[in-house]
Amino acid sequence: MSTPTTTAGHAAAPAWKEWVLTTDHKRIGVLYLVGSMAAFGVAGLMALIIRYEQMELGMQFIESGTEYNGYLYFHGAAMILAFLIPGLTGFAANYFLPLMIGARDVAFPRINAFSVWLFFFAIILALLSFIVPDAPDIMWTGYPPYAVTTAANTSLYVFTVHLLGFSSILGAVNFLVTVIYMRAPGMGWNQLNVFVWTTVAAFVIQLVFIPVLAAAVTLLLFDKYLGTHFYDPSAGGDVLLYQNLFWFYSHPAVYVIFLPAVGILFDIMATMAKNRVFNYKVAIYAGIWGIVGIAGIVWVHHLYIAGMPDWIRLGHMVTTLLISVPVGLLTISLWGTLYKGAITYNTAMMYAASCLYLILLGGLTGIPLAIPSMTLHLSETSYVHAHFHFIMALFSAFALFAGIYYWFPKMTGRFADGGMATFSFWANFVGVNLTFWPLFIIGKEGMPRRYWDYEMFKDVQVMGYSFEDYHLIATIGAFIIAIGMITQTINFIYSAFKGKPAPTNPWNSRSLEWTHTASPPGPGNFGGTDVVVDENWSPYEYNTK
Amino acid sequence: MRKFLPAMTGLAGGLALSTQAHAQAIRNPAEEWERLWDVVIFDITVIGVIMAVAAIYFLIKYRATSPDQVGTAKKLTTVQSIAFALIPASIFMADDFYLAAKGWTVWNAYRRVPDNAMEIKVIGYQWYFEYEYPDGTIADGTDYNPIKIPVGQPVVFRMTSEDVIHSFGLPHYRVKEDMMPGRITYVWINPAEAQDTAFIQCAEFCGEAHTQMANPIHAVPQAEFDAWLAKVAAEG
């Protein structure tokens, strides 16, 4: 992905120094991309081990339950905290948000560089889990008392969360100031790309909710290493305090991932369909901001089986079901953007189209989980596992991949489309369905999450097949995804250097990152002249008749 | 969707009437769970199919025929814009409240313990469950030891944990609830039919042997249950 850009006019610093010490938002974006894809690779390898282990009854690959729990911990924590969030709000926002609003950089470039440094330190800290003998085994949720009483190293988890939290808060302040003060002259709020809006919403969520997570994990650290008793009922603490604090952040965190993914989809679909965004204002103010408004009052649906008072569980059932209203409005706008469009197909659009399927499947399977009486059984089963993979992991990852194909010509001056791209798309798409559909089916019959074995279910048949059969299909699916992801990565690296050269605006987009910059954009983004837009300008105005 | 709602409400009303026939009959949460599952799955399938068909239709129908072609969708008027927000929002909200009401009804079945329920106290340990029957007999679930309950006798489990958080999961009876140190929680089940295949499993991650923290729970005739309990008491 790394594209050497020449720094014309003066003696160039060594290339590594230019990258490591950069304050250019585009290079920082690429650093985020490289870091998050590396985290994705390692966490994906963990997923393969997890799937392989469950393929048959008994122990295949692992030698102890603790070893398996370590893989699970790393997979969950790294995918969410080091791949999805930095991939979307780090890479995509950094590289493209300033270009989309006509800014020459972000408001505080050095703080931006510090954010990406913190991110890399966090990744190094997380990778230490593989070296220390007492690797964390507390799942990405880190519930006490287990996280306190375990012999494993909980501090690695806490400090990783701290570093990423600081990184995200600094990023949030930086980008909010950038969007508020550095938009091109003439650019009103209703002329912003949907991706800009979703990123703003994601950063507002980060700014409001991260401190709560930081508090939760810090108290965990104190309980484990300083002997405090915040979560210890034998000394007046409460085990549920942590879960409430944790999910008060971590449910909104789902939207930190989901919203920028939706934003990328809108931009790709409007561009490829050469159509205006359907019902733009409703999508922004009711859809995106509706989600932000409701994000902080639904967290108890993660505690439906945690013995919370009945009235809270029922109250949060209603608020959780009502998430369907803003999300429904966003889907109608997505669908409507295709209506009467002129759709061109390429790898980015294929990923975008598959996201429509993923958002339907992942979103609708969440509805049973919004209802506490359903969740009394479904909670902690592989049904939940399949649901959140479809809506959070796969939908957002596919949207991110769509974005990478879409913006690849902008970042490198070359296309990443081609036979390998098409092959890897289909491998990924077929693979995710093979992997996660079986988990819905056995999850409904009680297959628990976070189990490496399922001995007690050995005589249970679902539609004539055993749990082992379903796990086998899921494991085959996971390895097909691995093939897809490996070929895709090879394709990205190859295309960055040898791909087919692309014109400056290959998709004929109206958005500023395509119309006003070179590919890749040089320092300062827009050359000698500042970008100015008039009141009729819109990134989605294709049909000017 | 709108057409289906009255039809489904009517259907649900019919079911409710037929259950009222056995006045004050003890409810069976697991059965009600299955019926609610069917309703919810039907509901989301209808929405999913409508949206999927629309997506596929748009994706095929509106392909560009030349590279210079642009979309021809008109800009919405203010009235259209508001209508396209309010009408879908109303439909979604109606469906939400319909499902919420259904879910609430089943919730009451899960949370209202019948007066005649037999109480079994359960303590979670890393990594087994320990059960105390009303007569003080203690049975434990180590080594995958089955515990027994009498058929037709509602059972309420009052639960806590001595170490970390566990969860008392009964997939056969479609219920689970966490067991936490410092807190007491409960679930109740209605073992209407004899069975020797059900089991209790830990459903909240609790460490090394979380995967193996399970034991069978068999619903057997009263006489067999009494004999089993006496045997466990004698073995101490």
- Whether B18 is covered by a domain: the verdict is no
- The pLDDT assigned to B2 comes to 45
pLDDT in tens, A36-48: 999 999 999 999 9
Question: Domain total for chain B?
Answer: 2
Closest by CA to A336, choosing from A385, A282, A382, is A282
Pair B102, B126 in one domain: no
B21: pLDDT strictly greater than 70: no
Q: Could you tell me the CATH number of the domain that includes residue B175?
A: 2.60.40.420
Any B CB within 8 A of A309 CB: no
- The pLDDT assigned to A81 comes to 94
Looking at B111, B139, B169, which one is the last position of a domain?
A: B111
Pair B190, B87 in one domain: no
pLDDT in tens, B103-132: 999 999 999 999 999 999 999 999 999 999
Q: What percentage of chain A exceeds 90 in pLDDT?
A: 94
- The pLDDT assigned to A545 comes to 61
- The pLDDT assigned to B67 comes to 85
Q: Which helix (H) or strand (E) holds A465?
A: strand A465-466
Q: What is the DSSP letter of A89?
A: I
pLDDT grade for B12, boundaries at 50, 70 and 90: very low
Would strands B138-140 and A465-466 be described as parallel, antiparallel, or unpaired?
Answer: unpaired
Any B CB within 8 A of A160 CB: no
Which domain covers residue B101, as residue numbers? 29-62+73-111
Contact B208 A69 (CB under 8 A): yes
Pair B35, B78 in one domain: yes
A-B contacts (CB, under 8 Å) = 254
Any B CB within 8 A of A52 CB: no
B11: pLDDT strictly greater than 70: no
Pair B58, B164 in one domain: no
Pair B128, B231 in one domain: yes
Looking at B111, B141, B175, which one is the last position of a domain?
A: B111
- Distance to chain A for B125, nearest Cα, Å: 12
Pair B40, B90 in one domain: yes
pLDDT in tens, A277-318: 999 999 999 999 999 999 999 999 999 999 999 999 999 999
- Whether B68 is covered by a domain: the verdict is no
pLDDT in tens, A373-391: 999 999 999 999 999 999 9
> In the Cβ-directed half-sphere of A79, how many Cα atoms lie within 13 Å?
22
d(CA A150, CA A165): 24
Pair B94, B183 in one domain: no
- Whether B122 is covered by a domain: the verdict is yes
Any B CB within 8 A of A64 CB: yes
- The pLDDT assigned to A10 comes to 53
d(CA A224, CA A145): 9
Pair B135, B216 in one domain: yes
More confident residue, B11 or A480: A480
**pLDDT average, residue stretch B162-190:** 96
More confident residue, B227 or A541: B227
- Whether B125 is covered by a domain: the verdict is yes
pLDDT grade for B24, boundaries at 50, 70 and 90: low
Closest by CA to A269, choosing from A188, A207, A331, A197, is A331
**pLDDT average, residue stretch B2-28:** 54
- Whether B4 is covered by a domain: the verdict is no
pLDDT grade for A13, boundaries at 50, 70 and 90: confident
- Whether B149 is covered by a domain: the verdict is yes
pLDDT grade for A11, boundaries at 50, 70 and 90: low
Any B CB within 8 A of A145 CB: yes
Here the tokens at position A335 are: 């669908």
Task: Provide the strand spans (E) within chain B.
Answer: 118-125, 128-132, 138-140, 147-150, 155-161, 166-170, 175-179, 185-189, 199-202, 214-220
Contact A275 B104 (CB under 8 A): no
Pair B50, B128 in one domain: no
**pLDDT average, residue stretch A92-100:** 97
Contact A321 B96 (CB under 8 A): yes
Q: Which amino acid is at A106?
A: V
Nearest to A371 among B88, B103, B109 (CB): B103
Pair B102, B179 in one domain: no
Pair B107, B157 in one domain: no
**pLDDT average, residue stretch A245-272:** 97
pLDDT in tens, A469-506: 999 999 999 999 999 999 999 999 999 999 999 999 99
Pair B130, B201 in one domain: yes
- Whether B67 is covered by a domain: the verdict is no
Nearest to B64 among A278, A343, A451 (CB): A343
* Mean of per-residue pLDDT scores for chain A: 94
B5: pLDDT strictly greater than 50: no
Peptide bond into B150 cis (omega under 30): no
A6: pLDDT strictly greater than 50: no
Query: With DSSP H G I counted as helix, E B as strand and the rest as coil, what are the percentages for chain A, rounded to 5?
Result: 70, 0, 30
- Whether B169 is covered by a domain: the verdict is yes
